[in-house]
């Protein structure tokens, strides 16, 4: 059954592959015998015993992205799939209406930081990899990491949600531009998940302020807010990523797949 996806020897780049969802995707693809490249700003260069290639890469810098793609091709000879997973968030309000903590009011620095990684990074990585797909002449697949907040907005996460809606838009436009070259572009939009390193203590404090509550009260009653009554598991996201990366999803392109346990309000 493991072989149903036929990912053996597919070369797959996962950005932000060192922790969280990205790391779960790296492990899943590796377990399915793909050749995996983890491209992460916090990676230590080299191939580990399990044959995963780790490449330090800042997705927001063109030279860094181009060098990462060259390293992947030099090592494995080709690229079949890019998973644009690297992303960042900073809970901040547009305006600190209560006036109690201006440090949680959105700044130009935060705007640039989040857009540079979540939007420019997706653009740079996809452009570099699609050029390689075209040189190979055999199509390819791009899987973008969006978020449920992209569709519904999210209080205290307006910049982040806007970046993820930009990712949805890229997904639709690039699918139209590249379909004739057998290149698919899809996105997945997770809702609330088991916690990753994104939920640092500082993040939770900021989120609590932006939601006018305390850190202890941040976790809502999921039985009320999520039809399936629980957060998603990282493995559920990596299962979807593996399916979308595989030729089993060969007629899916230009769409954002919601993976939220039925939750639809950010
Ligand atoms: N965690 C969630 O609940 C959730 C929900 C919906 C969508 N997402 C999205 O999933 C993706 C992964 O989130 P996560 O929760 O695993 O986050 P995480 O913080 O645990 O992991 C993010 C990874 O990206 C890397 N990274 C950060 N900046 C980078 C850069 N400039 N270049 C290359 N790598 C960089 C980090 O080093 C880290 O390994 C993000 O795009 C996020 O927006 C997360």
DSSP letters, 31-91, are HTT-EEEEEETTPPSEE-TT-PEEEE--TT-HHHHHHHHHHHHHHHS---EEEE-------
Instruction: Calculate how far, in angstroms, residue 137's C-alpha sits from the geometric centre of ligand 1.
Output: 31
Using DSSP, state whether 160 is helix, strand or coil: helix
Q: In this structure, which residue's CA is closest to atom 43 in ligand 1? A: 87
Instruction: Calculate how far, in angstroms, residue 210's C-alpha sits from the geometric centre of ligand 1.
Output: 20
Residue 127, Cβ density class (10 Å: 0-12 exposed, 13-18 middle, ≥19 buried): middle
Q: Which residues pair with residue 135 across a beta bridge?
A: none
pLDDT of amino acid 106: 97
Token pair listed for 85: 């997973």
- DSSP letter at 120 equals I
Catalytic residue set: 160
Residues 43, 56: contact at Cβ < 8 Å? yes
- Tell me which residues have their CB closer than 6 angstroms to ligand 1: 15-16, 18-22, 40-42, 57-60, 85-88, 117, 121, 145, 147, 190, 193, 196-198
pLDDT of amino acid 207: 93
| Average confidence (pLDDT) per 10 residues, the chain, 266 residues | 87 98 98 97 95 97 98 98 98 96 96 98 99 98 98 94 98 98 98 91 94 90 93 98 98 98 80
CA 152 distance to own-chain centroid = 18
């Amino acid at each position: 059954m493991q072989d149903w996806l036929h990912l053996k020897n597919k070369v797959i780049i996962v950005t932000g592959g060192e922790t969280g969802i990205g790391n779960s995707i790296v492990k899943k693809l590796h377990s399915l015998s793909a050749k995996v490249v983890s491209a992460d700003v916090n990676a230590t260069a080299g191939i580990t015993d399990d044959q995963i290639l780790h490449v330090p890469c800042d997705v927001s810098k063109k030279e860094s992205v181009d060098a990462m793609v060259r390293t992947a091709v030099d090592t494995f000879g080709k690229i079949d799939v890019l998973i644009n997973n690297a992303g960042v968030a900073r809970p901040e309000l547009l305006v600190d209406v209560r006036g109690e903590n201006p440090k949680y009011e959105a700044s130009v620095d935060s705007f640039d930081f989040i857009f540079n990684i979540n939007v420019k990074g997706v653009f740079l990585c996809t452009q570099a990899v699609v050029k390689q797909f075209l040189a190979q002449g055999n199509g390819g697949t791009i899987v973008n990491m969006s978020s449920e907040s992209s569709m519904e907005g999210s209080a205290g996460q307006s910049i982040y949600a806007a970046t993820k809606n930009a990712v949805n838009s890229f997904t639709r436009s690039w699918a139209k531009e590249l379909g004739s070259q057998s290149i698919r572009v899809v996105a997945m939009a997770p809702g609330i998940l088991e916690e990753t390193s994104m939920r640092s203590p500082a993040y939770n404090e900021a989120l609590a302020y932006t939601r006018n509550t305390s850190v202890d009260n941040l976790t809502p009653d999921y039985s009320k807010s999520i039809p399936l009554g629980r957060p998603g598991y990282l493995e559920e996201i990596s299962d979807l990523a593996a399916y979308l990366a595989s030729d089993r999803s060969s007629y899916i392109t230009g769409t954002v797949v919601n993976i939220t346990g039925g939750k639809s309000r950010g």
